[in-house]
Chain A
Amino acid sequence: MRSWKALLAATLMLALAACGGGGTAEEPADDAPAAEGSEAAPSEAAGGEGASDVRAAMVTDVGGLGDNSFNDSAYAGLQRAEEELGISIEVLESGAPTDYVNNLTQLAESGFSPVFAVGFLMTDAVNEVAPQFPETQFALIDSVAEATNVANLLFEEQQGSYLAGVVAGLMTQQDTEFTTAEAATVGFLGGQESPLIRKFEAGYAAGVQSVCPDCQILVEYAGTTPEAFNDPARGQEIAIAQNDQGADIIYHASGATGNGLFEAATDRGFFAIGVDSDQAAIVPDAPILTSMLKRVDNAVFASVEAALEGSFPAGETITYGLEDEGVDLAEFGEFSDIVPQEVVDAVEEARTGIVDGTVEVPTEPAA
């Protein structure tokens, strides 16, 4: 009798847990009706025959929607495609790395195409799933997969980071409410140590050095696993430690870990530089000087558009840089009064140099 009850209790707990776990993979409630709506009444903007047949979908990496970062950016691109091109969209969130294959498979089986895999963490999953669905178009962001039905969308993060470095290197030499001229130290907070995030570091360091050869650049990564993108407490400690060592501007490429940087910057009054989206708009109470923009949304939108026109770049690798506004630097916003004109000019000069090729930006940090 006792053991029967025990078994029942344990089973119930596990069942309950399984329900909870499934929750993270559900779509946000509000886009179900929107998707149906656009199927029922294809928008005029779609303009062509068969446009309404396109159903695009994306799978987030473990950062998930609400990361204020590139998952949100990719979703924004999809939403724009839904509004302007009249397609239906779907998004599946991944609670754990083990969800990647399931989510991609589920979307491909349901007939979605193109299916966007957002983030280099999903490379293996795409390599596994894409060959099983040769009719489905996949797009992998930030990495390169082998299958011929995958479009690989890369970004020149080092170029945008270089501009962020120029700003940091010049501003740390200024006396402002947030920076002191004598410190001349800047920081970099990385998420998972990986070739992708090292591109951010390399460009940033090169940018700082181009305008401030004597500046000290403190570099710290939050970890070596994907969890390093999701640890604000650790991000905060790293930011505090760098600030203790004199860094008064810290640039991050660390997903949700960067929220810890913003808290430290708010509390202690130093500048943070955001990443991927214009984070000053998302976290308005933090002193975010600017953000390195990675326009995943534009890349996603362009790919959907290409799919509609029948020119989806399957099997190709497309790299978005400063030239085509795939990466950029956000406006200074509320701090535009503090930033001197010479900084704005230096950024423009660097931008021109990178675009015309006279400035070469490294993709690996100097040893």
Chain B
Amino acid sequence: MDDVLGLGPLLASTIRFATPLGFAALGGLFSERSGVVNIALEGMMLISAFAGVVGSYASGSALVGLATGLAAGLLIGLVHAAVSVSLQADQIISGTAINLLALGGTGFLMETVFGSGGTSPRVSAFDPVRIPGLADIPIIGEALFNQSVLVYLLYLLVPLTVFVLRRTRFGLRLRATGEVPEAVDTAGISVVRMRYAGVALSGMLAALGGVYLSMGVALSGMLAALGGVYLSMSLLSAFTENMTLGRGFIALAALIFGRWTPVGAIGAALLFGLAQALVVTRGSDVPIPQEFVAMFPYVLTIIALATFGGRAVAPAASGKPYRKE
């Protein structure tokens, strides 16, 4: 079957745009469901993107880069938790501080580690992995199943997150902590511990989004469709200062638009990704003003918030430090 409409490339591009948003939105989910607003997703992504590149640069291995990126995300998550949970500081201020620290800190460390700002040297990144069979599905196969392993990880994480939140003791406790921490406390479960877990997970998921941005943007072998020869070579990637460019905030918008549910958040991330991909792949046929696409996630989120009709869908205790009576 011929892909006359170019749906395959459009879908592939959508997924690449949506993946970092999806990881960060899931990250935001774990944090907010535990009762801690995480406006720091942006900074967590940026720091992890940088830490991943440094790890990969030092070791020559993308996997080591993934590990250092995750470690950085975990560390920043713990900082956010320490400030906003243990010390009960304003969660928005803590998050904003992390974002500022990430922007300035990575810029400064670029000088220290690589000797110059701007763009880092190129490092090993994740090659696209083609899944035989699934990738042979007409039109959508290549787009969905010839991607970076990180994309497959996201595919797995969505149902896993649904399962954890709905079916596991940890998930139920986490959600309860975000809704009625008093009840959780009364049941003898540590609210502080649950929130630390939520924010730490949040940091690591946002880290995956950051690592995907700096070293996981994999290309699929769609040249075959053009009659060319696809050369399988190691992808090379780099860190660029401030390369997240607000994607953490768009992920937050996706989380809100998706009503703080995993499937909703991923759906919103895909929708925002599709809008970006449409401009990139169809910009010349359908002139969509770029400004419109840039504001699209935020406008949708405002509309969504306005039409929730007063029904509280956000975790009830999100944003409020828990003070033991």
Chain A residues in the interface with B (C-beta under 8 A): 2-3, 5-10, 13-14, 16-24, 26, 28-29, 63-68, 71-72, 93, 95, 180, 193, 218-221, 223-225, 227, 230-234, 236-238, 240-241, 243-244, 246, 256, 259, 263-264, 266-269, 283, 285
Bound: A257/B13 CA distance, A: 17
Contact of B227 among A64, A95, A180, A263 (CB under 8 A): A180
| Nearest B residue (CB) for A5 | B87
Closest Cβ of chain B to A231, distance in Å, is: 6
| Cβ of B31 to closest chain A Cβ, rounded Å | 17
State whether the Cβ of B165 lies closer than 8 Å to any Cβ in chain A.
no
B117 near A21 (CB under 8 angstroms)?
A: no
By a CB distance below 8 angstroms, the chain B residues around A29 are: 111
Q: B residues within 8 Å of A by Cβ?
A: 6, 9, 13, 16-17, 20, 82-83, 87-90, 93-94, 97-98, 100-105, 107-108, 110-111, 114-119, 122, 213, 217, 219, 222-223, 226-231, 233, 235-238, 240-243, 245-246, 276-277, 280-281, 283-284, 290-291, 294, 321, 323
| B88:A6 contact, CB within 8 angstroms | yes
Interchain CA distance A236-B281 in the complex, whole Å: 12
**Which one, A2, A24, A68, A246, contacts B107 given CB within 8 A?**
A24
CA distance A263 to B240 in the complex (A): 13
| Cα separation A82 to B312 with both chains bound (whole Å) | 64
Interface contact A67-B83, CB-CB below 8 Å: no
Contact at A14–B217, with CB atoms within 8 Å? no
CA distance A234 to B16 in the complex (A): 10
Contact A9/B116 with A64-B241, A263-B236 known, Cβ cut-off 8 Å: no
Write out the residue numbers on chain B whose beta carbons fall within 8 Å of the beta carbon of A13. 83, 89, 93-94, 97-98, 101
Identify whether the interface residues of A are mostly helix, strand, loop, or mixed.
helix
Interchain nearest-CB distance for B119 vs A (Å) = 6
What total count of A-B pairs have CB within 8 Å?
Answer: 184
A109 CB to nearest B CB, Å:
23
Name the A residues within 8 Å of B230 (CB-CB): 268
Instruction: Give the contacting residue for A17; candidates B100, B115, B222, B227; CB below 8 A.
Output: B100
How far does the Cβ of A223 sit from chain B's closest Cβ, in whole Å? 6
Which partner residue on chain B sits nearest A237 by CB separation? B280
- A-B pairs, top 9 by smallest CB distance, nearest first, are A66-B118, A23-B108, A20-B104, A21-B104, A13-B97, A17-B100, A24-B107, A20-B105, A66-B116
Say whether B89 contacts A20, CB under 8 Å. no
From known contacts A13-B98, A233-B217, infer whether A24 and B104 are also in contact, taking CB-CB under 8 Å: yes
B235→A263 contact, CB < 8 A = yes
Say yes or no: A5-B219 contact (C-beta < 8 A), given A22-B104, A237-B280.
no
For A26, list chain B residues within 8 Å (CB).
108, 111
Contact with A259, one of B119, B229, B231, B233 (Cβ below 8 angstroms): B119
In the complex, A28 Cα to B87 Cα: how many Å? 37
State in angstroms the CA–CA spacing of A16 and B47 once bound together: 15
Bound complex: CA A243 to CA B17 (Å): 17
A238 CA / B90 CA spacing, docked (Å): 40
A64 near B118 (CB under 8 angstroms)? yes
CB distance from A92 to the nearest CB of B (A): 12
Known contacts A7-B89, A67-B118: A223-B111 contact under CB 8 Å = no
Contact B111 A28 (CB under 8 A): yes
Q: Say whether A230 contacts B87, CB under 8 Å.
A: no
| B residues near A219, Cβ cutoff 8 Å | 284
CA distance A233 to B321 in the complex (A): 37
Q: Tell me if B245 and A285 are in contact (CB < 8 A).
A: no
In the assembled complex, which residues on chain B have CB atoms less than 8 Å from the CB atom of A64? 107, 117-118, 241
